[in-house]
Structure 1
Amino acid sequence: MTETISRAASAPAGPATAYDLVIRGNRIMTTAGEVAREVGIRDGKIVAIEPLGNNLEGAEVIELSAEEVLLPGLVDTHVHVNEPGRTEWEGFASATRAAAAGGVTTIIDMPLNSIPPTVNVDALEQKRAAAREQAFVDVGFWGGAIPGNQGDLRGLHDEGVFGFKCFLLHSGVDEFPHLEADEMESDMAVLKTFDSIMIVHAEDSRAIDRAPTAEGDHYDKFLASRPRGAENVAIAEVIERARWTGARAHVLHLSSSDALPMIASAKRDGVRITAETCPHYLTLISEEIPNGATAYKCCPPIREAGNRELLWEGLLDGTIDCIVSDHSPSTLDLKDLENGDFAVAWGGVSSLQLGLSLIWTEARRRGITLDKVIDWMSTKPAALAGLNSKGKLALGYDADLSIFAPDESYVVDPAKLHHKNPITAYAQKPLSGVVRKTYLRGQQIDSQTPAGQLLRRGMA
């Protein structure tokens, strides 16, 4: 296990205690890969990375054990915290504790399912007020684009939101209505004027309306009710509207592998398009979901094994840019556990605390290295949001770090997770990789004293 040596009481001030914290180990995940290094941290920043054996000194020195890797903290740009307004679903205290336990040091909160949704500056201030004294990790915010709030977009941007989310079909909550494709294009043209980004829940409402009903407890009926074609049509709209306006656009929670060639082609054409996917689409398959198991319901849905394999290929070839959680929790009753009706149950998977272990378990089985996982889950999401001091273990970056034991295993117990409601699609699933400690700006997160900062676009 990690060995901590404190020198604060005995060492004099001066060169010997030049750093607040020094972490030494044979497995430090730098931008050059996993190497033997010593990391010096001062005032919350990484200010030295030197070869192991240089004996950097600090007020506190941590010696990693042979089985531990020092990682940059993960950046999760797709989290539904739901506070204020639906705090019984999740809240900033529980969500950020869960994040820290999973090695996530920065989250960006979605503009729904809170009440009010983050569609104007006043709502953003209410969200910040709720988060300010509760956050154990750093928290930023997306704004929302809905019918009628185009005049609020610039104000939200100036107040520091990282971009704007819209839906192309009913969002699931009435207070966050969806945009038609022409409305999205109009908003994208506005966002282009100040180089913001439109992030899109891309499912086509017409295709969903014409699909079979999801009523009942059979997962295959639910899967048929959210066909790949609904995603494909909507993603095509996002690509073309981004092409026409020149705006940046991002496809959220990609589940349909059919859309990968379109996205790849658009990227080659110079369209400013990026895409993400989520742990549930990369680790679960529809063939193994029991009937009535509404913990697995999410929109778009978990699809077939062959689809999953193509999503992994899309990650490896760069068509998909990053992996984020889409942590979308609810209360137990909203999951309709008693009846298991997929048409009634809330659609969302809780995985904020588990993402690193989930993806590492699947990646190592495929021969994919840990540094690639960190690129997808830390470096690329930070770049998406323009978080220029997050996502890398590098000089000048925030000392947001986790100590990870990749060979240690555990079995998921929902009751032991920090999520507010003890339900997850991963219950009793054996996973590889345990986060032993997480640091925010060089301070270990203790889950008792909230020290997270509220982030604004351009500040980090």
Structure 2
Amino acid sequence: MTEHALVVRARRALTPEGERPVSVVIDDGRITEVLTGDDAPVQAERELRLAEDEVLLPGLVDSHVHVNEPGRTEWEGFASATRAAALGGVTTLVDMPLNSVPPTTSIEGLKAKRAVAEGKLAVDVGFWGGAVPENSGAGTTGILSDLWAEGVFGFKAFLSPSGVEEFGHLSPEQLYTAATAIHAFGGRLIVHAEDPAVLDSAPAASGRDYADFLASRPDEAEHAAIALVIDTARRTGVRAHILHLSSASALPLIAQARQEGVPLTVESCPHYLTLAAEEVPAGDTSYKCCPPIRDSANRDLLWRALQDGLIDCVVSDHSPSTPDLKDLDTGDFGTAWGGVSGLQVGLSAMWTEARSRGIALAEVVRWMSAEPARVAGVPGKGSIAPGLDADLTVFAPEETVRVEARSLAHRNPVSAYDGADLFGRVRRTVLRGSDIGPESTDGRMITRG
């Protein structure tokens, strides 16, 4: 009998064929076989057998993470972000092109990212490029094709101010120019969809009342911007992706576009699916993000869209900052930095909410592993299947966890989930067949497949 490097045996494993007992055979960091039964005859140098209360999951793929290094490493960095990811069951993340300095909007910016990430990664990391006015006008789109050739997964654009000066937003004309260029080389355009004119006409945010902040980012801002993205994708043929959908008002637009065959995918985030506007405490700016967390009725509609397939995947949009920028002392939603830190707790938060709705763990895991890998084009990730990387998560779904922001591996102790009691603990994460430990730096920089 051939001796293999590792066999992982689990009474419960979530595979593409469904939940079942398996023996997962691993060689050279990849899954060689997935045998039915946790007692299948396999000879291996090492054996990992899961406990009765544990479920074997594929490593999660989080395609929306702001690492911020270089330039704003005090907000978050590759070492802290990838460590938090591993503790949350995430074995692959894709870094957003802002809020680092320089942003990933040029070859030089990409090289700067890769240089500072070297030797710091606990999990595998890929990079998005950015579409900004400097590379999305007439005669400048060659920068986008150069970034694509270097292996970025696609290009992020804002339709309204991003919050940082070095990453400008696109006008409708610039969006069309960028989309045309990106479609020409087969790329992907991912969009923060809020309409600046609607935002400008809304009441300004200020003070400690979350309802006032919510009024400053109305549903209409997402609705109008998503309509523009759909029209642009329809006219150019570009593969378009809506980032962090928070407003259910846009779901009919998305459904119609899908029926027409517009190449459109959509993500949402744990904070939109597990939190609600009416539950946000006055002055607690850890909940501030853009677009905003909306009410529980809206949340119910997002869950229905997930189950119906209108929303493809769930990713964190981990967007941290230092505590002083969140204005926790004043609790002013108008001046606080917008972003929720949720990289480490997303799986438990989603499972807690799904469990209360009677939704199976397998669905949650699919939305957070196979689907983001598919949508972002991450190769070799997202499923327990032969030929893929042996990236695995050992999860105890019935164990309860009290979230303490100060104990999370995020660089700064700010979390909208602070004090929450959640179901599900990640007990172990495995990257290409090796345990991710506290000092692991075996993560690789990956490129588009």
- Which TM-score band applies after superposition, normalised by the shorter structure? over 0.9
Q: What letter corresponds to residue 95 of structure 2 in structure 1? A: D
Q: 2:48 and 2:194 mapped to 1: Cα distance?
A: 48
Which residue of the partner structure matches residue 181 of structure 1?
A: 172
Match of 2:78 among 82, 92, 95: 92
Question: Once the two structures are superposed, what CA deviation does each residue of 1:25-82 show, in whole Å capped at 9, x if it has no partner?
Answer: 2101111111011011000000011122223121110111111111000000000000
Question: Once the two structures are superposed, what CA deviation does each residue of 1:393-421 show, in whole Å capped at 9, x if it has no partner?
Answer: 00101000010000101110111100000
- Counting only pairs closer than 5 Å after superposition, residues 313-332 of structure 1 correspond to structure 2 as 313-332=304-323
Q: 1:370 and 1:33 mapped to 2: Cα distance?
A: 11
Q: 1:441 and 1:162 mapped to 2: Cα distance?
A: 21
Match of 2:390 among 399, 406, 417: 399
Question: Once the two structures are superposed, what CA deviation does each residue of 1:66-101 show, in whole Å capped at 9, x if it has no partner?
Answer: 111110000000000000000000000000000000
Q: 1:449 and 1:95 mapped to 2: Cα distance?
A: 13
Residue 216, structure 1, aligned to residue 241, structure 2: no
Which residue of the partner structure matches residue 235 of structure 2?
A: 244
1:449 deviates by: 2.6
Q: 1:113 and 1:312 mapped to 2: Cα distance?
A: 29
Structure 1 residue ranges without an equivalent (≥5): 1-14
Q: What letter corresponds to residue 49 of structure 1 in structure 2? A: V
Paired residues in the alignment total: 443
Which residue of the partner structure matches residue 45 of structure 1?
A: 30
Q: 1:135 and 1:449 mapped to 2: Cα distance?
A: 7
Question: Once the two structures are superposed, what CA deviation does each residue of 1:149-175 show, in whole Å capped at 9, x if it has no partner?
Answer: 123100000000000000000000000
1:290 deviates by: 1.1
Residue 419, structure 1, aligned to residue 414, structure 2: no
Specify the SS of the correspondent of 2:340.
coil
Which residue of the partner structure matches residue 261 of structure 1?
A: 252
Which residue of the partner structure matches residue 138 of structure 1?
A: 124
Match of 2:48 among 54, 62, 66: 62
Question: Once the two structures are superposed, what CA deviation does each residue of 1:110-134 show, in whole Å capped at 9, x if it has no partner?
Answer: 0000000000001100000111110
1:348 deviates by: 0.1
Q: 2:73 and 2:235 mapped to 1: Cα distance?
A: 40
Which residue of the partner structure matches residue 101 of structure 1?
A: 87
Residue 283, structure 1, aligned to residue 269, structure 2: no
Specify the SS of the correspondent of 2:134.
coil
**Does the CA-based 8 Å contact 2:122-2:442 persist in structure 1?**
yes
Q: 1:218 and 1:139 mapped to 2: Cα distance?
A: 38
Q: What letter corresponds to residue 71 of structure 2 in structure 1? A: G
1:21 deviates by: 1.0
Specify the SS of the correspondent of 1:399.
coil
Which residue of the partner structure matches residue 22 of structure 1?
A: 7
1:216 deviates by: 1.0
Which residue of the partner structure matches residue 96 of structure 2?
A: 110
Moved over 4 A (4+): none
Which residue of the partner structure matches residue 348 of structure 1?
A: 339
Specify the SS of the correspondent of 1:20.
strand
Specify the SS of the correspondent of 2:393.
strand
- Could you state the TM-score of these two structures normalised by the residue count of structure 1? 0.95
Which residue of the partner structure matches residue 138 of structure 2?
A: none
Q: 1:120 and 1:425 mapped to 2: Cα distance?
A: 34
Specify the SS of the correspondent of 1:124.
helix
Q: 2:49 and 2:237 mapped to 1: Cα distance?
A: 49
Q: 1:51 and 1:378 mapped to 2: Cα distance?
A: 22
Match of 2:19 among 34, 42, 54: 34
Question: Once the two structures are superposed, what CA deviation does each residue of 1:373-394 show, in whole Å capped at 9, x if it has no partner?
Answer: 1110000100012123100100
Residue 72, structure 1, aligned to residue 72, structure 2: no
Which residue of the partner structure matches residue 300 of structure 1?
A: 291
Specify the SS of the correspondent of 1:432.
strand
Q: 2:172 and 2:374 mapped to 1: Cα distance?
A: 26
Q: 2:415 and 2:56 mapped to 1: Cα distance?
A: 27
Specify the SS of the correspondent of 1:60.
strand
Specify the SS of the correspondent of 1:338.
coil
Which residue of the partner structure matches residue 148 of structure 1?
A: 134
Q: 2:146 and 2:248 mapped to 1: Cα distance?
A: 36
Q: 1:287 and 1:409 mapped to 2: Cα distance?
A: 25
Q: 2:10 and 2:285 mapped to 1: Cα distance?
A: 43
Which residue of the partner structure matches residue 149 of structure 2?
A: 158
Q: What letter corresponds to residue 32 of structure 1 in structure 2? A: E
Q: What letter corresponds to residue 54 of structure 1 in structure 2? A: A
Match of 2:302 among 305, 311, 315: 311
Q: 1:164 and 1:180 mapped to 2: Cα distance?
A: 15
Specify the SS of the correspondent of 1:341.
coil
Specify the SS of the correspondent of 2:225.
helix
Match of 2:107 among 121, 128, 131: 121
Which residue of the partner structure matches residue 363 of structure 1?
A: 354
Which residue of the partner structure matches residue 429 of structure 1?
A: 420
Q: 1:51 and 1:295 mapped to 2: Cα distance?
A: 45
1:447 deviates by: 2.2
Q: 2:159 and 2:332 mapped to 1: Cα distance?
A: 24
Q: 2:187 and 2:126 mapped to 1: Cα distance?
A: 15
Structure 2 residue ranges without an equivalent (≥5): 136-140
Report % sequence identity: 56
Q: 1:135 and 1:171 mapped to 2: Cα distance?
A: 27
CA RMSD of aligned residues (A): 0.7
- Could you state the TM-score of these two structures normalised by the residue count of structure 2? 0.98
**Does the CA-based 8 Å contact 2:379-2:448 persist in structure 1?**
no
1:441 deviates by: 0.2
